[in-house]
Structure 1
Amino acid sequence: MKSPHSSTTAARQRLWQELDMLCRLGLGLAPIAPDICAVLRTLIGADAAALFWLDEHGAPEGFFHEDSPASAQNLFLNEFHRLFVGAHETNVLALAQPLGPQVGRLLAPDAGYFRSNTYNLLIRPSGHHHTLDLRVEVQGRTRAVAALFRAPGTGFSSEQAGLLQRAGTCLQRAFARKPAGSLGVSHDGAVGHVLLDADSLRPLLADATATQLLQEANLRGLGLRGEAGPALPDDLFGHLGLQPGQAASIPVPHGLLDIRMHPLHPVASGAGQWLLTLQLQRPRQIEVVRRVLALPLSPLQREIAALAGLGHARADCTELTGVGPAALKKHLRTILEAAGASDWEDLASRLHAGP
C-alpha cells in the first residue's frame, strides 16, 4: 500500500512532467497558458497565477489571469501605458527589464508599491496582496513574465521562489524550441462574424460569438470583458495586425485565433464590405499531452507514449529516451494495455485523434 507521502511525490512529479511536456511542444506560452497557470499554482502553492507574453519591444502583448475581475483586465489591456507605467509602477513592463534577480522582485516590495495603481487597481481588486514574480528570458530577451498571487496573510517563501525559478527553465523551452511536429488543429465549432466597412475598415456589426472570441483573446487594446454588447474599437483591424484580404492565426489562451477575410461586394466600387470570420483552433499536440498524462503510466512510459502521439516512429525511441529494445518492448506492452491500443500506429492514432 502506497503511503500518502509517496502519492504526493508522484503527483508533484506528474505536475513537473506536465509542465515540461507542454513547454517542449514549442508553441509559445499563449496557447498553453491556462494549463501552465494551473500547474504553477498547484506546484508552488498560490491562490491564482497569471502569464504575460511580450512583443518584440518588451511590452505586454497578451495575458492569461486565472481570476482577475473583468474591470481590472480591461484596465490592463486598454490603459496600460496611461495608468501602469512610471517610476512607482512595478508592473509587467518593469518586471520584464533585465535588472535584478529573475525571480522574487516583489517578495518584499517597498511602501510605494502599495500606493501604486498597479497594486490598487489590479492586484487588490483581484483579492490578492502577495506576489511572486518570474522573468522568462530566452537568448538575452525577456519573452514572458509569470506571477503567482496570494491573499493577505502568509506570503511566499524563498523555497517557493526557488521552485518558480526551476519552473522558469521549463517555460524557456516554450520559446527556444521549434514546434514538435504538426498534427493539425481541432475546432470548437463556434464561428464568429464581424462586418467591416471596406473603405475605413471600421467594424459595423459583430455577432455574439465574435465578441466572445475577442474578449477571451486577451489582446492588447481589446479590453471587452464584462460588458454587455460592447462596441468593438474602430481600429480593431489594426489591433489584430491584419492587411486587407489577409488571413491570420494569432496565439491566444487555449489555442490559436484563426481570422479570415472575405469580400462581400467588389471593394473597388467604394460600397463594399469585408466579412471577418473568427474561430478558435486548438493545436492537437496539447491534447496529446493531456491524453498521455491521463494514462496510468510511469514518467518514462508517458515520454514513450508521447513520442507516438506526436508523430515519431517507434525506431526513434532509443535515441530520444535511451531505452534499449528489450526494455522498450516491455514498457510498450504496458502502454498499449493502458491506452487500449494494439500497436504503435494504433497508439498514435488514439492519442491524436480528433474530439
Structure 2
Amino acid sequence: MKIRVCLKDMVPYSPGKLKPGAIKLASNENPLGMSPMAADALKQSIGSVSLYPDGGCVKLKNALSKKHNLASANICVGNGSDEVLVLIAGAYIEPGDNAVTSQTTFSEYTFATKLFGGTMKYAPMADGCFQLDAIASLIDTKTKLVFLCNPNNPTGTSFSNDELRAFMKKVPKDTLIVLDEAYREYVDRSDFPDSISLLNEYDNVIILRTFSKIYGLAGLRVGYGIARPEIITDMEKTRAPFNVNSLAQAAACAALDDTDFVNKSRAVNREGKTYLYASFDKLGLKYYKTDANFILVYINQDCVAAFEKMMALGVTIRPLRSFGLNDAIRVTIGTPEQNEFFVRCLEKVLGK
C-alpha cells in the first residue's frame, strides 16, 4: 500500500516511559486526581455503557454554555482537545496551505497541520516567550491557521490581553487564530486575555479548553472549542459520530460544578510553585516563571540522561530534547510530598 505523501516523514506517537510505582511528574496532570463530583458521576453512569453515548454531547454543551454564557452553537466537544485540533485542521487545511506557530510549543499543532498536507512555519521564541510580532510577520496568503498556546507548553509563559489584541489586528480575517488555553484555570495574572469576549469582535478565533488538566480527567479525554457558530459547523463536518464516550460526558458535566476542587487544585499549585522556585534558586538553576501547572528548568546536563537517572530514583519528568532543549526538563507541580521527593532526586542527579 502506498501511504499518503504528507505522512511519509511523520513519526508515530511514542508514549513516554513510566516505571511502575514511580511518581509521575511528566504529563501535567492534576496531582490531586479527579474531581470528587466527577468520580461520583462515573459511579452513577457506569450502567449506561452498553448504550451509545449522546452523539451531540447535548447535556455537556448546555453545561458549558451556562458556564461561559454562550449558546451551545458556539461549542464543539472532542475526544480531548487533541481531537479538536484535528477537527480544525480537517476543516481548513488543504495540501499547499500552511499554518504558523512558535518554536518550543505543543507538537500537536504541527501534527494536525501535516495530517492534511499542510506545512508549519515557526517564529522564534525569546526567553521562553512567544514573539507575537514575529508570528504575525510569517503569515502569508497560504496561511490558514495560527496556533497560540497560552500559557505555553512547555515553557509555562503567557501573554497579556493587550498583547493578544494588538496581535489580532495584524491577522487577516481569512486566517483562523487557534487560542489553546488548556492551562487557563491555573493562571493568576490579572491581565490574562478575556478570550471569549473576542467572539463579539472577531470572526476568526477559536478558543480551546480541556478537562484533562485542572479537572483531573485526562484519562477520559474531553476537550472543547469555542467559536462563532459558522466555524463550529465547519468543524462538525469533520467530527466522527459518538466521539466522546458517555462516562467522559457525565464526569465532565459534574466536574464543571466542583468549584471546591478547582480552588483546592489552584492553591496546591501555587504552594508547589513557590517551593520549587525556591529549590531551583538554591540549586542555582535557570527556570521560567510559570502560569501553568508545570515548570521548565535548565539542569546544565543532558536531559535524557537525567530523565533516566530520575526514573531509576522513582520519579518521571519530561526531558525536552524533542523541543530542541537538550539541557532542560519540564516537571509537573505536584503535592508537597511529591515536590519534596522530586527535589531530593534532582539534587542526587546534579550531585548537590
TM-score normalised by length of structure 2: 0.25
Which of these two proteins has the greater Rg computed from alpha carbons?
A: 1
* Structure showing the higher strand proportion among its residues: 1
* Highest RCO, 1 vs 2 (Cα 8 Å, sep ≥ 6): 2
